[in-house]
Structure formats: structure tokens, C-alpha cells
Amino acid sequence: MKVDVSKPILDRNERLAAENRELFAEHDVFVLDVLASPGAGKTSTILATIAALRDRYSIAVIEGDIASSVDAEKIKAHGVPAVQINTGGACHLESDMIRRAVDTLDLGAIDLLIIENVGNLVCPTDFDLGEHAKVMILSVPEGHDKPYKYPNIFARAEAVILNKYDTLPVFDFDEEEFRSVVTSLNAAAPVFPISATKGNGVEAWAAWLTGRIEAMREGAA
């Protein structure tokens, strides 16, 4: 006998993501999910973003890693609340992990919550966490051909950060080709070249993020 099920497979994750989204809306918190491969500079970019926006917004960070708390310690050393999630081998973050981490934060005192996802260009793209925007970081040494190999993540990101831009002269990175492939995958996504550890280019990225946060707030008001 055939019985209808008609349910999303990630039903549980999607329901919890919707709950997270409601919780964030209740407290007017903008949530950014940062995706990249290991070593692209996620933590450095988050630190540069904090430096650019901390006078304007109160910021907290959720760090997702398979093991260790080195990233959360780095963020905390800058006086910003950080929660470390250890996935223990899982290659991406899911909504219930975010919820448990959020429960340890004072959401009422936070304007911008940045989630550093596990370093991976594949799995995190399919998991809604309740965030407002997913952005991805590619670093110059990884090569301009990455969008050909991992198209989905470029197609889903709202913005693409090109990090370690200061190393462009020593790598065989074709910026024009990179931009044209990104545009073909995702016409609406802006590309922000930055050097996170030096602070170069961060203003344009921070201005874009501010625009997104303010748009959310106006929508909520």
C-alpha cells in the first residue's frame, strides 16, 4: 500500500532554522553565516569586520570547528563574546547547534551575530541555520578556478569576499576570469577584494554589510 509522506528530508533542521529566525527577529539580531575552505581567512575576516563595525554595532561570534576552541579564543581576546561549537567530525553546522550556542548568549544585547561555519565548500550550502545572509570567502592562493569546481556555494552566497588580495602579485590568479565566472553563477553577488590581516578593502565590505543590517532593521520596524 502506498502512503503519502510529502515532507522535507531536512524537515527537522528547517523547522529549527525557522525557530532560530523567529528568535533573531524578536531581538532584532542580524545573523551572518560565513562559509569558506579551511585557511581562506574566515577568522581574520571576522576580526577585520569586527574592527570596522564594533563602534556601530554590538557583535558576537559563533565559531564552528570540528575540534578545538582556538578560534573562539582569538575572538574573545578582542573583547567580543564568542561561543565555540565543536561538531566532533561533522562537516557543517546545523540549526540545533546554533540554537544551543545562541542560548548561552544575551541576544538582547547583540546587533550582529556572525557564524563562522566549518571550513568546507560543499556541505554547509544545503543547511539553513536561520541566518539572514550567507557570504563566502575565497582567498587568492586557492586559485581563480574554484567557482568552476564548487559552483553551488558561489551560487548561494549573497556576497563573495576575495581575501589575501595583497598576495595577488605572487600567485597566478586571473581576477577578471574569477569575476566573470562568479557573475555567471550569481549575477547579484558583489565581489569584495580585501586583505583581512592588513585591513585593506574592508570598508567596502563593511559598508555592504551595514546596508544589509539596516535594510533588515527597517523591514522589522
- Give, as one character, the DSSP assignment of residue 105: S
> Kindly report the CA angle at 64 between 58 and 65, in degrees rounded to 5?
140
Judged by the rule CB under 8 A, the positions of this chain that interact with another protein are 1-13, 90-92, 122-123, 125-126, 151-152, 155, 184-185, 187-188
Residues in the chain: 221
Q: Which of residues 6 and 176 has its CB atom nearest to another protein in the complex?
A: 6
Least distance CB 155 / another protein (angstroms): 6
Q: In whole angstroms, give the CA distance from residue 212 to residue 221.
A: 14
Give the max Cα distance, the chain: 65
Least distance CB 185 / another protein (angstroms): 6
Q: Which of residues 7 and 169 has its CB atom nearest to another protein in the complex?
A: 7
Residue at grid coordinates 502512503 = 3
Q: Which of residues 91 and 204 has its CB atom nearest to another protein in the complex?
A: 91
Least distance CB 71 / another protein (angstroms): 22
Q: Which of residues 92 and 132 has its CB atom nearest to another protein in the complex?
A: 92
How far, CA to CA in Å, does 175 sit from each of 28, 89, 159, 165, 178?
A: 37, 34, 16, 10, 5
Least distance CB 101 / another protein (angstroms): 19
